[in-house]
Amino acid sequence: MTHPLRSIHIGVVLALLLSLSSPSQAQSTTPYDSGGELSVEQASYDVLHYDLSISLDPTTQTVEGEVVVTASVHAPLSWFVLDLDPLLTVSTVWQVWKGDEVRLPKEQVEIRGGQIWIRPFRTHQPGETISYGVAYGGSPRIAPNPPWDGGIQWEKTPSGADWIATSCQTVGADVWWPVKDHVSDEPATMDIHIRVPEPLVAASNGRLRDIEQHEDQTRTYHWHVSNPINVYNVALNIAPYRVIEDEMESVAGDVYPIQFYVLPEDYEKGLDLFEEIKDHLAFYEEFVGPYPFRSDKYGVAQTPHLGMEHQTIIAYGAGFDNTSMTRGTDLGFDALHHHELAHEWWGNLVTNSDWSDMWLHEGFGSYMQPLYREYLLGADSYDEAMMQQRRGIRNTKSLAPDSILTSQSIYAGHDIYSKGSWVLHTLRYLVGDETFFTILRRQAYPSPEWETRTDGSQTRFATSEDFQGLAEAWSKQNLSWFFDLYLRQPEVPRLSITRDATSALISWTTPDGLPFPMPIDISIDGEIRRIDVPERGAVITVSESAELVLDPNNRVLRAGNGE
């Protein structure tokens, strides 16, 4: 049922108790962070479904809402814990029991910092399916620097209409709704009901089920998400949008809708970009497999922030400017859209289960733009793009540290974009194009049968170890040396050469003497050949007068190339 919001009177808020004690240690994150180690309570259940209803008032910049969380219990559960920013106030909590809503007394609900601790009438046991509801409201955090430092935006379009958007990847979804805010737990499905004043249009994740007209000149948009979704990808996009739409035939043979929610004043520009969007989709389908969420849609919404990979409703705010991500150079395509679209595969289809593996999202996503340049413009453009990325690598922190991290910490100096992209670039050189592109596609879809799935089972969590295993299986090589060096510590190897009158010694120097048997291309008087470089180094016969260049095409991530 597309239910309008219950009447929520913020002034009649329950006197929920503030308690500093808890049965176990809750997530030790800053107020505006996400992830980290789960508390025992939150680790004891998995979310199956969220049913979120939210009403937005642009005049007062406030929200009122409710969420019903359905979860499966897999360890004894004496507290049901959700996350919610303290800027928002809880008014009512209830349990859904045999179809009825049983309101919990205030003694069973505690607000502890940024969490709602709900004590059930009895301890829930493994195997149970439970549902709890929370009504809330208030003035959510206004994003200081979206999308990097997120929250909600209450903006105006160029013509003066209300323009509202959310972005919360690094700060957590709990800045605007009650949720289990952790990357490791995705609901299998979700319903989102967004009530807005006319003539505003609310675009969100999934497929539009219904628009309900109310007597107070508001409308409720009901979106249904039929695939697992990470909670930071749940998004509101609200403006007097016009919708550009079409259908796309997938390489899997089925047809799915494409929609672009564009501001009226940019409609003509939107039409042009819409054709390019189809080209981008065709490229990804060719190289990494079918668009993953064909049972929902592919959607793009014009936003007042630069962009985000919100599942099935990509945020686009590059201003129809092809130079927004290319340092002023127009390469003939919109790199911002191309990058965010990449995350429908690298991030939304295949999701890291901890932020420490975020390079699987951002590194893979960043590699796709040089690959597209190669596809459109040739190998020289690919090489140029890779060297541009190389100049941004700092090598100060491990790319994928062997520890549990939060969203804020992984984005603080871990090189997950450009270094992650260069790891793939170097792997491509090591294993060759045929094997590399097979690895890339099987990272997205483990088998051709997976490519046909549209019921949610095509999605999965993955780790760096999983990707290493995949690369080893297809290359038939032990690649532990490769991933240990590039992922688990920050430094990169250095290639050195020592020459005499008749020979040259080529060797690798690595941090802590880590093994690194990486072959390397050398150019001798313009002729390129590959040589193996064992631990003791490689000696080649070459005259003192010969011109010798190591790694002439910059295929290996190492110290000194492009820094």
Strands, E, within 327-457: which ranges? 350-352
Is domain 1-239 in CATH 2.60.40.1730, yes or no? yes
Contact 306, 316 (CB under 8 A): no
Q: Which residues of 238-258 are buried (b: 16+ CB within 10 A; e: fewer)?
A: bbbbbebeeebebebeeebbb
Percent of the chain with pLDDT over 90: 91
Distance separating alpha carbons of residues 482 and 472, to the nearest angstrom: 11
In angstroms, the Cα distances linking 96 to 101, 109, 218, 366, 557 are 5, 15, 28, 44, 55
Helix (H, G, I), strand (E, B), or coil: what is residue 63?
strand
Angle separating helix axes 267-288 and 433-444, nearest 10 degrees: 110
5-27 pLDDT, tens digit each: 333 332 323 333 333 233 333 33
What are phi and psi for residue 182, nearest 5 degrees? -150, 135
β-bridge mates for residue 499, sequence order? 504
Q: What is the mean pLDDT of residues 549-557?
A: 97
Q: How far is CA 411 from the centre of its chain?
A: 12
Q: Tokens 């092809």: give the residue.
A: 322
333-383 pLDDT, tens digit each: 999 999 999 999 999 999 999 999 999 999 999 999 999 999 999 999 999
Write the CB contacts of 216 (distance below 8 Å, at least 6 apart in sequence): none
Task: Enter the pTM of the model.
Answer: 0.94
Angle separating helix axes 418-431 and 433-444, nearest 10 degrees: 130
β-bridge mates for residue 193, sequence order? 53, 222
Contact 17, 110 (CB under 8 A): yes
Write the CB contacts of 517 (distance below 8 Å, at least 6 apart in sequence): 481, 532, 533, 534, 535
How many residues can be counted in the chain?
563
Distance separating alpha carbons of residues 521 and 528, to the nearest angstrom: 6
Cis peptide before 199, with omega less than 30 degrees from 0? yes
Burial of 86 per CB tally in 10 Å (0-12, 13-18, 19+): middle
Q: What is the mean pLDDT of residues 262-267?
A: 99
455-514 pLDDT, tens digit each: 999 999 999 999 999 999 999 999 999 999 999 999 999 999 999 999 999 999 999 999
Give, in degrees to the nearest 5, the angle at Cα 191 between 235 and 241: 45
Q: Tokens 């929610």: give the residue.
A: 261
pLDDT number for residue 561 = 84
**What is the CATH number assigned to the segment(s) 350-363+395-487?**
1.10.390.10
Helices (H), 80-139: none
Which residue type, as a one-letter code, is found at position 363?
A: G
State the pairing for strand pair 460-462/350-352.
parallel
